[in-house]
Structure 1
Amino acid sequence: MKKILIFLMIIGMGVSNVNAQKNWTFGLNGGIPVGDVEEAYSFHASADVAYRIDILKLLDIGATAGYAHYFGKSFDVESLQFEAEDLQFIPLAGTARLRILSLLFVGTDLGYAIGVGSDSDGGFYVRPQIGVNLGLVNVLASYSNISNDGANIASINAGVEVKF
């Protein structure tokens, strides 16, 4: 009986250690459109889920998927007024982060954003980021860019991630 209890304690410690690594994150981001889309879009909001594994104690790599929404607005071209339709995307990407000291990290997501809706063509997706690790929460700043046929749909963002 004593051996069984010790065995169960060792397994329990191993399982709790695996759960403590918090490989999953859920993030919410908001930002200001820039570049080609700053005239026609007022705000960018996105949510994502990522899974990363620790490599070399400094580098995390994994995959991420999410939803990004650019909110259209009215804008003028010469004397004509136009209403931009909202753009929606589902970014699917590989992700990597390099830890600097114990609090800071830099990283990037790299992949493809699938366009959702008639006005949203997909394109190459990149999202470099810098952040602060606050334990169960990360606070980060990022630049998000979807490139398609020479046009760039981009934004500068601030966000928060929760580890689980």
Structure 2
Amino acid sequence: MKWFKMAFVLFFLVIGVRAQQGFKIGLHGGIPIQGEVNEVVSLVAGADLGYLFALGEVVDAGIMTGFVNGFPEKFDSGGADLPHVQFLPLAASFRIWPSNSFSFGADAGYALGLNPGNDGGVYYRPVIGYLMGPRTEVNLSYTGIDTPGQPWATVTLGVLYTFTKNLRR
């Protein structure tokens, strides 16, 4: 597993050096929707950073990373200080554009656990997006992280901004 993590980080760094167009940055927030995560985390917020290459008129592919923070549940903690649950996802990404303003796709890879006791796990994030302008996208996503013993599942709403001219429009 360590080899996989190191190879993925190296891949991200090498591609990032070449990436001069299609740079994307975004924010998202949401709620947990599954079992034990719902008992320890009340809200989720995060940031996205990545680059997508236009492979044609309808397909984009690239890499994404970011930061995901689960805010501890204060209401049901019984007075105990619960920790924030944090991940650093490293993922391959693809989007399909059936129209000029609508996209769907997914990010898939591995999410490194950042807080103590969090080993991370396999990361997947299906995304539906709507282009609000030439560079601004609003998206809805489901985030799943297969952590040992406590799978992570959230639904988030986000905004993504592209720093280059949109070649598709």
State the TM-score, normalized to the length of structure 1.
Answer: 0.80
Q: CA offsets, 1:69-128, max 9 Å, x none?
A: 001113659xx6654321111000000000021110001000000011213221000010
CA–CA separation in structure 1 for the residues paired with 2:46 and 2:138: 15
Question: Which structure carries more strand by proportion?
Answer: 1
Partner of 2:13: none
Partner of 2:67: 67
Alignment counterpart, residue 106 of structure 2, candidates 105, 108, 133: 108
CA–CA separation in structure 2 for the residues paired with 1:87 and 1:99: 33
CA–CA separation in structure 2 for the residues paired with 1:118 and 1:150: 15
CA–CA separation in structure 2 for the residues paired with 1:103 and 1:48: 20
Counterpart residue identity of residue 54, structure 2: D
Partner of 1:131: 129
CA–CA separation in structure 2 for the residues paired with 1:85 and 1:150: 17
Percent identity of paired positions between Structure 1 and Structure 2: 34
**Root mean square deviation, CA, Å:** 1.8
**Unaligned residue ranges in structure 1 (runs of 5+):** 1-18
Partner of 1:40: 40
**Unaligned residue ranges in structure 2 (runs of 5+):** 1-19, 164-169
Partner of 1:26: 25
CA–CA separation in structure 1 for the residues paired with 2:150 and 2:84: 16
**1:47/1:67 contact within 8 Å kept:** yes
* Secondary structure class of the residue paired with 1:120: coil
Counterpart residue identity of residue 139, structure 1: V
